[in-house]
Amino acid sequence: MTGSGRDTVPGLPDALPIAVVDNHTHLDIERDGVPVDVADLLARAAAVGVDRVVQIGCDLPAARQTVVMVDTYAGMLGGVALHPNEVPRLSESGGLDAAYAEIESLARHPRIRVVGETGLDYFRTGPEGQGLQHESFRWHIDLAKRLDKALQIHDRDAHADVLRILEEEGAPNATVLHCFSGDVTMAQECAERGYYLSFAGTVTFKNAKGLRDALSVTPLDRLLVETDAPYLTPHPHRGAVNAPHLVPLTVRAMAATLGVAVPTLCEALSANSERVYGPW
């Protein structure tokens, strides 16, 4: 599973000095025909200082699989939700209420520590589906608060509405903007509200200066790191299949942007993850 092409997973980078968490990954998803060997991927990640992951299942089959996976792997916690792009499809088929009921049941599992990813996506869902996404986002926010779970938010081209709905509903105690994509102003507002900003491999892309500017104003105690594997592979492997063992590339890029030592950032990322999700 190693290599540098688009149809393989890149090899191991230099290990981090202090272990961190991949805060958001999808080890249920096969990309570009590359088989997913979860045990092997977790072992590779641990070898480079990524010894814990948060596996996210954001449709019903993935949510069910996530519950099985967190019971199997000690280094894995999980999250379940209905992705915003799933909601209009489920509504059209008449299955949305049953899906909500199953997600709530799965979310009660003690090793499911996250309700997510939920939120808004105006890129793949047009105006006709946005009302349903808003209702679903509010439902998931309420679920996270009722179950005292962290909330992980998907926000694509919907920054203002995401922040507005969080303000209207009242955010859960631990609220994470997964794969943060906002600007400096949004990063500052999120930090002021006490939200956590999770940065993915996109922060390493050469054309992502605005994202690095947002990172640069984010306090260390609000930062998380993720892969969103098998997507958003960090430079210099952009376009290849992503995996948790590539987190060190993103961490080192983040440390350079922030002007802090890599061990200092690793300590903060690990402590923040434990604060959000609890012990593994």
Q: What is the pLDDT of residue 3?
A: 45
Q: What is the mean pLDDT of residues 216-224?
A: 98
Sorted by sequence, the CB contacts under 8 Å of residue 245 that are 6+ apart come out as: 12, 13, 41, 44, 45, 47, 48, 50
Task: State yes or no: pLDDT of 169 exceeds 70.
Answer: yes
**Rounded to an integer, what distance in angstroms lies between the CA atom of residue 73 and that of residue 175?**
25
DSSP 8-class letter at 262: H
Q: What is the pLDDT of residue 219?
A: 98
Sorted by sequence, the CB contacts under 8 Å of residue 47 that are 6+ apart come out as: 12, 15, 245
Q: What is the pLDDT of residue 7?
A: 56
Q: What is the pLDDT of residue 2?
A: 45
**pLDDT confidence tier of residue 195, bands split at 50, 70 and 90:** very high
Task: State yes or no: pLDDT of 1 exceeds 60.
Answer: no
Q: What is the mean pLDDT of residues 226-238?
A: 98
Burial 211-230, CB ≥16 within 10 A → b, else e: bbebbeebeeebbbbbbbbb
